[in-house]
Structure 1
């Protein structure tokens, strides 16, 4: 399934410093929740890092995007092999809602059962500037495409090549700033 071809697959700006993106994923909701909260499963599509599911609990996200797909594609200049970010849980409502700090902002994952599928909505608020809005929109889009492939048992396209193409598409969709 190529969600990138569908306009609904794209992140949309909900404010000058916020984006929202949705995916309809294979269920059940508990499985999708596990991919959000368990470090080993989250590592397969976003970033590693163990988290205690309690409001106020600190945790670290560790990105190794070269490991998300084989092959990884060409990593763009300015990106490291590994990136780390300290975060803190701000909302935990299993298996429906998870929020945590993200730099100076916050990310919320909302899960809603839809028959045998689950609607995942990612809201990212507090994005520092328009350039980061483009990177983050393309980033969530790329990472969620990998998650979708993992849940469906299919092979995602090379992460970095996909991200770079999406970054250019987001520059057109959201404007250059």
Structure 2
């Protein structure tokens, strides 16, 4: 990993570690952008944010033209996971096990795996909330669903969501055989969109 990648990954780590103020859906209060076609590819949508009883849920849906087994390996194997999410290392892959979060500054801490189903579900703590990956086999490959649960919207929400959005783009590149540095420019573009989305959610929620 080059120095620029390390610095950017460290910044994402600090953003993700800001964890402050973060389940049954009661109503959907926000919309997402439609897919846009560019260079012959479907461009990923913004996450959908829902108001739920215990806070908020953000959901990313990504269809990959790769097998569920291949995508699951990228989520759980330490020779692949850091190539798209440099802060994470699997320590003990089981329910009740842990994933290490590396702050890229010499410090790290453990995230507890709260739900686990081999080849299908990986959920772990994320500050005051949690993050959940679900993998569904499809004829064309598989559907990856990423959910982030958090108790409140705050200044870090848009940073967190744009970070996940771009990390999923990096994962897509990795699955297609191309490793890439974290695209800071893309993160800034998506952060602006998510900031607007979160602000609208706050207004519609009366906060």
TM range (shorter): 0.7 to 0.9
Quote the Cα distance in structure 2 between the aligned partners of 1:105 and 1:150. 27
Taking structure 1 as reference, are residues 113 and 154 closer, same or farther at Cα in structure 2, changes over 3 Å only? same
Quote the Cα distance in structure 2 between the aligned partners of 1:101 and 1:153. 30
- Higher relative contact order structure (alpha carbons within 8 Å, sequence separation ≥ 6): 1
- Deviation, structure 1 residue 135: 1.0
Q: TM-score, normalised by structure 2?
A: 0.67
**Match runs of 1:1-177 below 5 Å:** 6=43, 9-15=45-51, 16-46=55-85, 47-62=87-102, 84-126=108-150, 128-154=152-178, 156=180, 158-175=182-199, 177=202
Deviation per residue, 1:109-135 (Å, 9 max, x gap):
000011131100000002553322211
Unaligned runs of 5+ in 2: 1-36, 203-207
1:145·1:156 contact (CA, 8 Å) conserved in 2? no
- Deviation, structure 1 residue 53: 1.6
Quote the Cα distance in structure 2 between the aligned partners of 1:153 and 1:104. 35
Unaligned runs of 5+ in 1: 65-80
Secondary structure at 1:110 match in 2: strand
Q: Which residue of 2 aligns with 1:74?
A: none
Q: TM-score, normalised by structure 1?
A: 0.78
Deviation per residue, 1:61-102 (Å, 9 max, x gap):
2265xxxxxxxxxxxxxxxx6774420111111101111111
1:27·1:113 contact (CA, 8 Å) conserved in 2? no
Quote the Cα distance in structure 2 between the aligned partners of 1:158 and 1:138. 12
Quote the Cα distance in structure 2 between the aligned partners of 1:173 and 1:137. 10
Quote the Cα distance in structure 2 between the aligned partners of 1:21 and 1:95. 18
- For the pair shown, the structure with the greater C-alpha radius of gyration is 2
Quote the Cα distance in structure 2 between the aligned partners of 1:63 and 1:150. 22
* Root mean square deviation of aligned Cα: 2.7
2:153·2:198 contact (CA, 8 Å) conserved in 1? no
Taking structure 1 as reference, are residues 157 and 58 closer, same or farther at Cα in structure 2, changes over 3 Å only? closer
Quote the Cα distance in structure 2 between the aligned partners of 1:82 and 1:164. 26
Of stretches 42-51 and 93-102 in structure 1, the one that deviates more from structure 2 is 42-51
